[in-house]
Structure formats: structure tokens, C-alpha cells
Chain A
Amino acid sequence: GQQVMQIPQYQHVQEGEDFTTYCNSSTTLSNIQWYKQRPGGHPVFLIQLVKSGEVKKQKRLTFQFGEAKKNSSLHITATQTTDVGTYFCAGPFSGGYNKLIFGAGTRLAVHP
């Protein structure tokens, strides 16, 4: 079945270091969405990428959608303790409405 794979599973960084998480889909995606879930919280939408090769930035966060629309990445420059949480990518299920296939997430720990 359709799968979205995400690596790494965990990442520990020192505050100020950069961080990247990668997402790969088994199928071509119409779009990819990124969510952040703080410890004890719920997923919060960060961004959606739609176009092949698209790059979007939100302050220190840079999101990329691959040319083949099967992979994506999230890069955080100069991490801060407020970046702690789990970052999920998600792609829409090709067969139905409003069904997102989530990656397993990358848990980011930032040490001050």
C-alpha cells in the first residue's frame, strides 16, 4: 500500500546546530504537508508544498518538494530549544478524501 517514510527517527542537536528531516513517498504526491507536534501536544500544520521542486521558507525553516514529487525535506537552521518536538510529513492518500498518510516522524531534541 501507499507509504510515507521519514528519516531519521530521532535527532539530538546542540542549540545552534542545523537539523534536517527527510521524507520519501512510495507514490507520487499531489502535495505534501508538514506538521509539528510538541511533547504532549497535537499536530500543528506548518506548511503545504504543491509544485514540483518547490521551496518555501518560514524564518529558520526551509521546506523542499522534490522534482518527482515523491520526496521532501525540512531543514532548520540554527536550532533553538523552541524547535523541540516531532516533525511529521504527510501526503494525501491517492484513493480518497481527506485521508493523510503520515510519516513516522522525526523527534528533535535540542540541548542548550
Chain B
Amino acid sequence: QKEVEQNSGPLSVPEGAIASLNCTYSDRVSQSFFWYRQYSGKSPELIMSIYSNGDKEDGRFTAQLNKASQYVSLLIRDSQPSDSATYLCAVYILTGGGNKLTFGTGTQLKVEL
């Protein structure tokens, strides 16, 4: 089992719709969770962080965390073509060298006109 799993997509949504991106993780003791956005040919950019169960909202983005189910999601409301990118879920996991941020392989989102 991969430590952080995401559906690779592509996930296609119409402009103005809600995009829902999902991620599961294997380490029950993980405490910090992040979502990154990566445009084609660019570096990952941090867009959301979440540490407690429940929802965290920032503009059109909402991160949701359920530690009991080991599940974290990202909702994008009123999706725009500029939201088309790959979204990476990242989870801090304790390794032999200390805490390391482990990334999923990403979900490609396409927002269609």
C-alpha cells in the first residue's frame, strides 16, 4: 500500500462547478496535511494546510480532514479554467530520518469551458 494515494485522473469538471479531490494516507499518527497545486512545467505551490479534523476554508478552497478514516480532501468551488493543474496531496509521515513530507502522485484537474 502506498503511503499517500490519490486518483491520477484526469478529473474533468465544467466551469463553475465544484471539483472534489481526494487523498488517503496510511500513517495513523500523521498530524500535518497539505495540498499543492502544480501547473504543467512549474514547481509545486502550497495552497492549503490542515491539521485538525473538520473543514478549513480559504477563498474558493476548502480542505477536509478525517483522521479516523485517514482521508483528506480538497474542494474547489466555482471552478475556473485557471484551476486546471495537477493537485498533490502531502502528508507528514514519521520515517527513520524524522518527519518527512510524503507526496501522492497527484490528480490532474481539467476545468472545461
A and B are partners in one complex rather than unrelated chains: no
Q: Interface residues, chain A, CB within 8 Å of chain B?
A: none
